[in-house]
Structure 1
Amino acid sequence: MLIPLSALQHYAFCPRQCALIHNEQAWAENILTAQGNALHERVDSGEPETRKGVRFERSVHVSAECLGLSGILDLVEHDLASGYLKPVEYKRGKPKPTAMDEIQLCAGALCLEEMTGKHIMEGALWYGQTRHRHAVAFSDGLRAQTLDTVRQVQVLLESGSTPPPVYGKHCKACSLLDICRPKLFKSDQSKRYVRELFEI
């Protein structure tokens, strides 16, 4: 089974969210996901084009059998003179405090490397809220973090289990908040009740 690139971003955001989506096939829309879908529809609908010696390919399907990954890159820029490839991902919001977006982008670059045999040094993230492109260097540290996330996601998906919720600020931005119900689990005393019920 090949892991979708999006699962890495989901896992880096919240392992429980990743399991709900990819193990339990749960999904729900909110205003944030709807805006993200609209952004990707605009990006994905563009035709390939060449400008100033750079070929722009949209909705590029990639996979890496050795890594067990597959997915779709929003954009791949191909410098026709040097042969250099640069993956670009479009995100609705703004740069995150964690490396979740960088991990997904780096995983896409690793797929491109396996497919083409070319070393990819950097990519970019474009954020709709700031309307700014951020360069991302695929450093040894980011590559190691990405590969570690791939391994953790493989273990999670192969287990078929869903981790318990850990409520935090990130929960407010999650479209699965009503399905996950982390506050309810946080206050759930049923295990303690049953344990005390049978204590002698």
Structure 2
Amino acid sequence: MKLILFNKPFQVMSQFSAHETRPTLANYITIPGIYPAGRLDADSEGLMLLTDNGQLQHKISHPDHKEAKTYLVQVEGIPDKEQLHRLSQPLNLGDFTTQPCQVQHIQPPEWLWPRTPPIRERIEIPTNWLAITLKEGKNRQVRRMTAAVGLPTLRLVRSAIGPYSLASHPLLPGEWLEVTLK
């Protein structure tokens, strides 16, 4: 049974099948018979897990198993206590209400690579970093959560899934590593 940690670059599609305009996982990983256990949208970057085992894929990606996922989020603005509190509580996003999660205002991660292309920055509006740990992961959920509290997401990097993290397995964008199952 294989488990692959992959650092998905910005603008890469979380699929092996060809895409009309963007690179896919097939541009980086040529191991036959593996599949992504979960997805990241094209605008997001960071840790993905891939496996050749259907049961493991289901266990990692299905929300019933509540595998914690941590995202490092660069937001526009300065988060205050009220915004951080609102993010950590159930938040009504219109079509669903989020589950409670962990939210921290953090320093910019020292180990994080520069993004290509860089994010847009405005001189008069500061940016800050949050670490958000969820046990769910609906489509564009983190971006929608930060926007709902007035902190638009500029950059989104998934840094950890369960016991696996980019901090403990430093991989540059596009790099992958086969690991022993924990």
Same-fold call, TM cutoff 0.5: no
Report which of the two has the higher share of helix.
1
Report which of the two has the higher share of strand.
2
TM-score class, shorter = under 0.3
Which of structures 1 and 2 has the bigger CA Rg?
1
**TM-score normalised by length of structure 1:** 0.23
**TM-score normalised by length of structure 2:** 0.25
Higher relative contact order (CA 8 A, sep 6+): 2
